[in-house]
Amino acid sequence: MICLETQHFNHNRTLLLAIGLWPYQKSKLVRLQIILFFGILISFVIFQFTALITRRCTVNFIIKVFSTMIFSSLYVIMYNMFWINSHRVRNLLEQLQYVCNELQDENEYTIIKKCGNNTKFCTLTCTAFAICSTFFAILLPIWPQILGTVLHINESRIQSQAIHITTEYFVDQNKYFYLILLHTNTVICIGATTLTATGTMLIGCAIHACGLFRIASYRMEQIMTTKMFKNVNLKDRAMIYNKKIFYAIEIHCKAIKFCEFLSSTFKGSFFLLIIICVISLSLNIYGIFQNISLGDKEAFLLHLLLASIILLYMFVLNYVGQEITNYNNYVYFTAYNSRWYNAPLQAQKLILFILLKGSRTYNLNIGGVIVASLECFATLTKTSMSYFTVMYSMEE
């Protein structure tokens, strides 16, 4: 018996517990934690927006504010997405656990265990990247203070150099500089944990969906093994064929149902996420080129970091969508290349059911608009570059 919560998703569980989004055992303290964290995230977006109200708005200033404000809204969207759909996330894990409880032999358990190992590896890799990115983002505005201590630079000059995210708190920003910095760093830590926890949870579910398709392929491969039917009469052979083909079709249908439930659970949030990622990527690429020309190294590094995170996030989510399509196609190829003509007539009809379903490529739909694939990633990147080109040409 495999316990997914403690064996496969234990790292994801730790990350989600840290921000109060683990869908089990919601106490009053956890609900208070959720409200506090969500309030911190959304307040940071609001305080960036208020800068547009109190200051003179030029095109460059608006782009500067929106490049960080829209990225910060990713934190809010992802946090809210798992918060309001916590019961559906729990249903996802329960569906997966139910399928794993019905596995039939050691090889199928090995496939699922490999999925668990891949999930843990991806989670640890993404967590390491998030820690490094968070440390870099926190250190970026602090290093002028460190440098100023050594070189005896004026403190007001240090503070003006340190602030690269434009905000308006309606207070003296020089006087409350360290409190503002604390709020910013808190948002960075909560936001980085949110993106990592929710993203790796989605990746883990997708990896296990690929595992279910792989088990369906394995069951199809085992149907036509000759040693299975040695010394078996025709009546029993037909019964064995039908039973094993039924099990292969059953887990294939459950895998498709699981993927459809996964995409429908976050349909609206995924659609909004696509728009936010495309706009934020184009604005941060513009910020990279703009700050290169201005010679602002700190702002350049900040925009480079944000653009890299968005690109990585978009690539990984589209890559796992492509893998789901590939594994589903492999089920069809396995059925097509099997010696189905040796099977009894009734079993051939069951195999035809898989062949007919496989003739139409199954894709993981995102937001009800686009299909998660490497082609989709290329399209979204090209769209962002097109928006960047328009903004850059308007400046010139």
Confidence of residue 161 (pLDDT cuts 50, 70, 90): very low
248-263: average pLDDT:
87
Most confident region among 354-358, 364-368, 385-389 by mean pLDDT: 385-389
Whether pLDDT at 207 is above 70: yes
Confidence of residue 368 (pLDDT cuts 50, 70, 90): low
pLDDT digits (tens, 9 = 90+) for 77-99: 999 999 999 999 999 999 999 98
Q: What is the pLDDT of residue 174?
A: 77
Cα–Cα distance measured from residue 271 to residue 77, given in angstroms and rounded to the nearest whole number = 11
% residues pLDDT > 70 (the chain): 82
Q: What's the whole-number average pLDDT of the chain?
A: 83
Helix (H, G, I), strand (E, B) or coil at 371: strand
Contacts 24+ apart (CB under 8 A), 343-352: 343/223, 343/224, 343/241, 343/245, 344/234, 344/237, 344/238, 344/241, 344/242, 346/238, 346/241, 346/242, 347/238, 347/241, 347/242, 347/245, 350/242, 350/245, 350/246, 350/249, 351/245
Whether residue 65 contacts residue 52, with contact meaning beta carbons closer than 8 Å, is answered with yes
Cα–Cα distance measured from residue 391 to residue 396, given in angstroms and rounded to the nearest whole number = 9
DSSP H stretches of helix in the chain: 4-7, 10-18, 28-54, 59-84, 86-101, 106-151, 155-162, 177-223, 234-265, 267-294, 297-337, 345-358, 374-395
* Whole-angstrom Cα Rg for the chain: 26
More confident residue, 196 or 342: 196
Q: What is the pLDDT of residue 238?
A: 61
% residues pLDDT > 90 (the chain): 39
Provide the residue range defining the domain that includes 103: 4-395
Q: What is the CB-side half-sphere exposure of residue 47 using CA atoms within 13 A? A: 19
Whether pLDDT at 162 is above 70: no
161-186: average pLDDT:
80
Q: Provide the domain count of the chain.
A: 1
pLDDT digits (tens, 9 = 90+) for 294-323: 887 878 888 999 999 999 999 998 999 899
Is beta strand 365-366 parallel, antiparallel or unpaired with respect to 370-371? antiparallel
The tokens for 341 are 């003509």
CB neighbours of residue 57 within 10 Å: 12
Cα–Cα distance measured from residue 241 to residue 224, given in angstroms and rounded to the nearest whole number = 8
Q: What is the pLDDT of residue 281?
A: 93
Whether pLDDT at 144 is above 90: no
